[in-house]
A and B are shown apart, each in its own frame.
Chain A
Amino acid sequence: MAKVNDVVIKIATVNGTGSASANGLLRKAIFRMGIPVVGKNYFPSNIQGLPTWYEIRVTGDGYQSRSDRLDIMVAMNAQTYAKDMAEVTSGGWLIYDSTWPRSSLLDRDDITVLGVPLSRMCNESFNGARARILMKNIAYVGVLAALLEIDLDIITELLEETFADKQHLIESNMKAIRLGYDYATENFVCPLPSKVEAMEGTSEHIIMDGNTAAGLGCMYAGATVGAWYPITPSTSLMDAFRNFCAEYRVDPETGKRTYCIIQAEDELAAIGMVLGANWNGARSFTPTSGPGISLMSEFLGFAYYAEIPAVIFNVQRTGPSTGMPTRTQQSDILSCAYASHGDTRHVLLFPADPYECFHMAVQAFDHAERLQTPVMVLSDLDIGMNDWMIPAFEWDDDYVPDRGKVLGAEELEAMEKFHRYLDVDGDGIPYRTLPGVHPKGSYFTRGSGHTKYGAYTEDSAAYQDVMDRLLAKWETARSELPEAEIVYSKFNKAAVLTVGSGHAACQEALDRLGAQNVNLNYCRVKAFPFSDSVREFIDNHEVVYVVEQNRDAQLRTLLMLDSEADPAKLVSLLHYNGIPINAGFVVDGVLGEIAKGRAA
C-alpha cells in the first residue's frame, strides 16, 4: 500500500474533547495542498464521554465514498483500543499515546505500532487540564504531518485564519504541532511509504457538508419562513440557514430581519407552520428526520389533497423507531413517497452529495410552487453531516424563481369567477390565489372532499373527478422533475441502479469492476415519480442491481410500483448497518451474483 495521495486515516477519540477541530485542521491542510480528501464522522448519540471516530480519506483519484481500507489508526481512546487495532488493514500503522503502557495482548505483527507519549509531552508543556486535553489532540496532527509529509506552512496558515485575532492560540497550537512533529521525525522513519504530495486536484472545489449546502440553498431560493423541531441529523441544516440569514438577511439600517425561524413544539406544528406560510405566499421549509416524517404524515396528506406547496428536508437516519440517530440509512423512501392515509403520494428529490443539496434545495421550492404540493428532499446523515469535496456552486444571477400559477389582483379583477381546483390548462395543475390580494380570490382551503370548484362535497363523481385530476398532475410532475442520470452502452446486459448517497460508492465500484472486465451500465434516480427513462433503462437490461441503504429494498419496491418494472430483473444489493456504503460492498455483491450465474 505504498501509494501517494491514497491513504485512509481514522482517529479514535472521546466525544467532547475538542478532537473535531484537530481533525478538521488535518483534513483542511491536506485539501489546501491540492489533494482531494473527504471526511466522515462516526459519532455517538451523546454529548460527552463516548467513543467517536473521524475518518479521512485522502483520495487522489477523487473517489468520495468511504474506503474499505484503513491505513493509519490514531488510537487515542483506551476504551476502544482493541477494536481500533483490529480494524487496521494488514500492512498499516497504528499510532497510540505511549504515556501509559499498552497491554501486550493487544498486538498485531502484521501492522506497525508507533507509540508517541502525547499526554506526557503535553502535560510538560501546557498548564491546565482542559488545555492539556485539547493540545494532546492537536499534537497528533503534528505526528501525522511528519509521517505523511503534510506541509507545516499550510497548517500555520490555517491556524492563522482560524485564530486571526488570538495570537496566543496560534502560538500554543503550533507548539503542540511541533511537539508531535519533532517526536515523530526523531523517532520514526518519516515519511511513511503512504504519504501525501501536493497536487492540483482541488481547484474550484470546496469541502462542505450537505446540511450546510441545503441551508445555503434555502437562503438563495428566497425562503423566508423556516419552522422546525430539533432532531439529529437534520439540526445543522437550520443552524446553517440561521447563520447565513444572520449575515445576509438583516436590514443594515433598521436591524430588522427578512426571515423568520420558528422552533416549533413538535414536528406536527413545524409542518403546520410551513403549510400556513406557503398558503400565504412565503417560501417556507422544514428540516427533519424519519421520526419527524412520521409525525408530519397527517398534514402531508392534507397538503397533497388541498394542494399547498411545502419543502421538507428529510436527513435520513437509521430506523426503525428511534433506531440509531447518529448513523445513516435510506430507509424512509417508502414512508415519504406515500406519507399519510388515503391515496396520497409525494414528490421526492434525491441529492447524491452536498453539491446537489444546494441546487435541489432551490429546485425543491420551484417544483413545490409549480406543482402546488409538498416536495421532500431525501438526504441522509452521510450526505448531511459528513465533509464532501464538491465543485464550488455557481449561482446564476438571472435565476427567476418559479412561483407557479398564482393569480394576481389584476387577473382576478378581470375574471368573472375564480375556481380553485379547475384544470384550466389541462396539465392537472389548477390556479391558486393568495390571501390579502383580492376579494374575488377567496376560497376555502379544506382537507375534506371538495369539487373542482373548491366547494365541499360528498358527491361521488365530484370527489373522484378531483382525485383523477391529481393523477394528471402527478404525470406532469414526472415530466418536469430532474431526469435520472444514465450511463448506457448497448453492449452491456447488466446495470447498477442506485439513489442518493449510493452514487459515490457505485461510481467507484463501476471503475473497479471495469478494471476486472465486468462492464455495467448505470442509472441513478434523482426524483420520484421516476422519469420515463428509468423504465426504459430497466427494460433494456437482463439484470439491474439495485443498490440501496435499507433492509427492505424500498427503492426496488418503488420502482415496481411507479414504473411497473419487471421485478425479476431487479436484484437487490442492500446495505443497512448504519455505516455509509462503500465500493467494496457493491463490487462484492455484483461479483457474488455473477458467480451465482447472473448476467454481467
Chain B
Amino acid sequence: MSYIAKPRVSHPGLPKNKLGLTTRDYEGTVSTLCAGCGHDSVTAAIIQAVFELDVEPHMLAKMSGIGCSSKTPAYFVSQSHGFNSVHGRMPSVTTGANAANRDLMYIGVSGDGDSLSIGVGQFVHAIRRNLNMCYMIENNGVYGLTKGQFSASADIGSLPKKGLPNQQEPIDPVSTALSLGATYIGRSFSGDKEQLVPLIKGALMHDGFALVDVISPCVTFNDHEGSTKSYAHTRQFYHHVTDMDYIPPAEEIKAKYAEGEAMPVELHDGSTIMLRKVDDEYDPTSRAAAFKYLRDHFNAGEITTGLLYINKERREMHDLMGNVDTPLAELPLDSLNPGSTELRKILKRYA
C-alpha cells in the first residue's frame, strides 16, 4: 500500500468546485496497483464524483476490508478518515460507524473476494439493514494479492491464466443485492467513466444501501483470452440498459430530454436522478422485472450495466430504528445518564 504522497503541483487552470477545491484536492497517495489496473480508473471516478458533489473531505469516511480493492481508499481524498479493516468485515465496521455518526458520507470499497467469499455474510446483512452507504465492489473475478485464484464471481467456463476453467456457479452481487432488498443497485465498468461517475454520485447521495458493482479487470491475472472479466470480453458483451445524470438540489436541469426519454427520480435531499432507458423494456423500479431481465441477459452472456434498480420508499437503518437526528456520537454524555436520583428509583425495584 502506498505511502508516497503525490507532489503538490498547482495547475492554475484546474476547475474548482463550490468549496474552491480542485480534483487534485481529492486525490490520495500514489497507487501501488499494477499499471493498467481497473481499480485505478474506479479511484479516478470516485475522485471525480466527490469533487462534483462538493463533498467536504472531512465529512467523507472511506471504508474497506482486505485485498487490492481495499487498498484503494488510500488513493483518494487524503483529507478524509479511512478505515482499512480486516478481510470481509468492512460492512460491520461501517454499520457501527454509521450508527455512531449518521451525518458522515460513507463509501466502502470492496472486492469480489472480500464481499462474495469471506465477507458474504456481512455484505448480505448490511443490505438487509438498508445501511446508508455507497458500497463499491471492484469485481475482477480473481484474487490478485495471492496470485490469481478464482473468486466467487468467476463465471462458469472462464479460463484462469494457468489450469482448468471455473466450474462453479458465480455469485452475482447485483442479483444477490436485488433479492435481499438493496435500494439502489448499479453496475458499470472501470473503462466507462461516463456511466460510472454519475452512478457513484447517485449512490453517495441515495438514502440507504447503494451497491455499485464495477467490472474492473485484473491486468496481471485475469485479462487474457478466455477470461470473462477481461477488458476485451467486457467491452464485447457490455449491455447498456440505462444511463443517468445526477442533478444537484435546486440546480436547473440544463440537458434536453426528449419527451418520455428521461425518468426523474428525486432523492431525499432534493437532488434528482434523470434516468434514461437505453432499453425501453426495462423498468428499474420493479424488483421482479429487473431480476428476470438480469437473468435473461446473463444467460445470454451479456453484462448488464447502468442504474438497474432504485427504491426510494424503504427507510434507511436509523429511520427504521427511530433514532434521533443528531449523530449519537455527538450527544453530550451527561445528557445520556439519568443521574443519582433516578438511579435510586431504579434500585428500589431491586430491594
State whether A258 touches B328 (Cβ < 8 A).
Answer: yes
Complex alpha-carbon distance, A274 and B98, angstroms: 11
- Whole-angstrom distance from the CB of B134 to the nearest CB of chain A? 16
State whether A444 touches B74 (Cβ < 8 A).
Answer: yes
- Whole-angstrom distance from the CB of A297 to the nearest CB of chain B? 10
Complex alpha-carbon distance, A396 and B81, angstroms: 36
Complex alpha-carbon distance, A270 and B95, angstroms: 10
Interface-side segment among B83-91, B153-161, B202-210, B308-316:
B83-91
Q: A264-B92, A274-B96, A276-B94 are in contact. Are A254 and B351 (CB under 8 A)?
A: no
- Determine if A152 is an interface residue (Cβ-Cβ < 8 Å): no
A interface residues, how many (CB within 8 angstroms):
80
Select one of A227, A257, A271, A302 contacting B323, CB under 8 A. Answer: A257
**Which residues of B (273-297) have their CB < 8 Å from a CB of A?**
none
Q: A276-B92, A435-B61, A444-B84 are in contact. Are A456 and B3 (CB under 8 A)?
A: yes
Complex alpha-carbon distance, A227 and B83, angstroms: 19
Select one of A258, A266, A281, A440 contacting B100, CB under 8 A. Answer: A281
B91 surroundings in chain A (CB, below 8 A): 269, 272
State whether A436 touches B104 (Cβ < 8 A).
Answer: yes
Select one of A280, A396, A397 contacting B329, CB under 8 A. Answer: A280
Q: A441-B58, A447-B84 are in contact. Are A269 and B79 (CB under 8 A)?
A: no
**Which residues of B (160-184) have their CB < 8 Å from a CB of A?**
none
State whether B100 touches A284 (Cβ < 8 A).
Answer: yes
**Which residues of A (562-598) have their CB < 8 Å from a CB of B?**
none
Q: A260-B321, A280-B97, A281-B100 are in contact. Are A456 and B74 (CB under 8 A)?
A: yes
Complex alpha-carbon distance, A37 and B23, angstroms: 70
- Determine if A95 is an interface residue (Cβ-Cβ < 8 Å): no
State whether B58 touches A224 (Cβ < 8 A).
Answer: no
A-contact bits for B333-346, CB 8 A (1 contact / 0 none):
11111111011101
A-B contact pairs, 5 of them (CB 8 A): A256-B325, A262-B95, A269-B91, A276-B95, A302-B85
Complex alpha-carbon distance, A439 and B79, angstroms: 5
Interface-side segment among A110-118, A213-221, A343-351, A503-511:
A213-221
State whether A279 touches B83 (Cβ < 8 A).
Answer: yes
State whether B93 touches A275 (Cβ < 8 A).
Answer: yes
Select one of B59, B99, B129, B331 contacting A276, CB under 8 A. Answer: B99
State whether A442 touches B95 (Cβ < 8 A).
Answer: no
- Determine if A283 is an interface residue (Cβ-Cβ < 8 Å): yes
Known: A222-B336, A445-B85, A448-B1. 5 other contacts (CB 8 A): A224-B336, A262-B129, A277-B97, A433-B81, A445-B83
Select one of B85, B104, B324, B343 contacting A393, CB under 8 A. Answer: B343
Q: Closest A-chain residue to B25, C-beta based?
A: A439
**Which residues of B (166-225) have their CB < 8 Å from a CB of A?**
none
**Which residues of B (90-144) have their CB < 8 Å from a CB of A?**
91-101, 103-104, 121-122, 124-125, 129
Q: Closest A-chain residue to B1, C-beta based?
A: A456
**Which residues of A (271-301) have their CB < 8 Å from a CB of B?**
271-284, 298-299
B-contact bits for A424-446, CB 8 A (1 contact / 0 none):
00000000011111111111111
State whether B79 touches A279 (Cβ < 8 A).
Answer: no
Q: Closest B-chain residue to A248, C-beta based?
A: B338
State whether A393 touches B329 (Cβ < 8 A).
Answer: no
State whether B99 touches A273 (Cβ < 8 A).
Answer: yes
Interface, chain A (partner B; CB < 8 A): 31, 202, 205-208, 212, 216, 219-225, 227, 244, 248-249, 251, 254-260, 262, 264-266, 268-284, 298-299, 302, 392-397, 399, 401, 403, 433-448, 451, 455-457
A248 surroundings in chain B (CB, below 8 A): 338, 342
State whether A206 touches B323 (Cβ < 8 A).
Answer: no
State whether A272 touches B89 (Cβ < 8 A).
Answer: yes
Select one of A256, A260, A269 contacting B99, CB under 8 A. Answer: A260
State whether B329 touches A224 (Cβ < 8 A).
Answer: yes
B148 surroundings in chain A (CB, below 8 A): none
Select one of A205, A258, A394 contacting B324, CB under 8 A. Answer: A258
Q: Closest A-chain residue to B82, C-beta based?
A: A444
B3 surroundings in chain A (CB, below 8 A): 451, 455-457
State whether A439 touches B58 (Cβ < 8 A).
Answer: yes
Q: A224-B328, A276-B93 are in contact. Are A265 and B121 (CB under 8 A)?
A: yes
B331 surroundings in chain A (CB, below 8 A): 224, 258
Complex alpha-carbon distance, A438 and B80, angstroms: 9
Select one of B95, B330, B343 contacting A272, CB under 8 A. Answer: B95
B58 surroundings in chain A (CB, below 8 A): 435-439, 441-442
State whether A255 touches B322 (Cβ < 8 A).
Answer: yes
State whether A435 touches B81 (Cβ < 8 A).
Answer: yes
- Determine if B271 is an interface residue (Cβ-Cβ < 8 Å): no
- Determine if B73 is an interface residue (Cβ-Cβ < 8 Å): yes
State whether B121 touches A282 (Cβ < 8 A).
Answer: no
State whether B346 touches A216 (Cβ < 8 A).
Answer: yes
Closest 5 CB pairs of A and B: A272-B92, A276-B96, A273-B96, A282-B100, A222-B333
Complex alpha-carbon distance, A281 and B329, angstroms: 5
State whether A445 touches B96 (Cβ < 8 A).
Answer: no
